[in-house]
Amino acid sequence: MKSANKRFKKSISTIATAGAIGLAAIAAGNALNSGSNVAAATTTAQTISVSVSSATIYDAPAGHATGKTLAQGTNWKAFSTAKDASGHTWFNLGGDQWIGSGSVAIVPANTSSDAVQSVIALAQKQIGKPYVWGAKGPSSFDCSGLMNYVFANAANKQIGGWTVPQESAGTKVSINNLKAGDLIFWGSQGSTYHVALYIGNGQYIHAPKPGDKVKVATISSYFMPSFGVRVL
**Spans of all domains in the chain:** 2-107, 112-230
* Pairwise CA distance, residues 197 & 204, whole Å: 5
64 is catalytic: no
pLDDT at 38: 35
Categorize the per-residue pLDDT at 16 as very low, low, confident or very high, splitting at 50, 70 and 90. Answer: very low
pLDDT tens for each residue of 142-169? 999 999 999 999 988 999 999 999 999 9
88 is catalytic: no
Rounded percentage of the chain residues whose pLDDT exceeds 70: 79
Catalytic residue among 41, 55, 122, 143: 143
* Pairwise CA distance, residues 231 & 213, whole Å: 24
194 is catalytic: yes
Catalytic residue among 103, 206, 214, 225: 206
Rounded percentage of the chain residues whose pLDDT exceeds 90: 62
Which has the closest alpha carbon to 32: 107, 79, 96, 93?
96
* Pairwise CA distance, residues 147 & 207, whole Å: 9
pLDDT tens for each residue of 168-183? 999 999 999 999 999 9
pLDDT at 110: 59
Q: Is the dihedral of CA 21, 24, 27, 28 positive or negative?
A: negative
Helix, strand or coil, per DSSP, at residue 148: helix
Rounded (to 5) percent helix, strand, coil in the chain: 25, 30, 45
pLDDT at 108: 67
CATH superfamily of 112-230: endopeptidase domain like (from Nostoc punctiforme) (3.90.1720.10)
Catalytic residue among 9, 68, 194, 230: 194
Average pLDDT value for residue range 186-200: 96
pLDDT at 159: 95
* Pairwise CA distance, residues 7 & 142, whole Å: 43
Task: Count H helices and E strands in the chain, helices first.
Answer: 4, 14
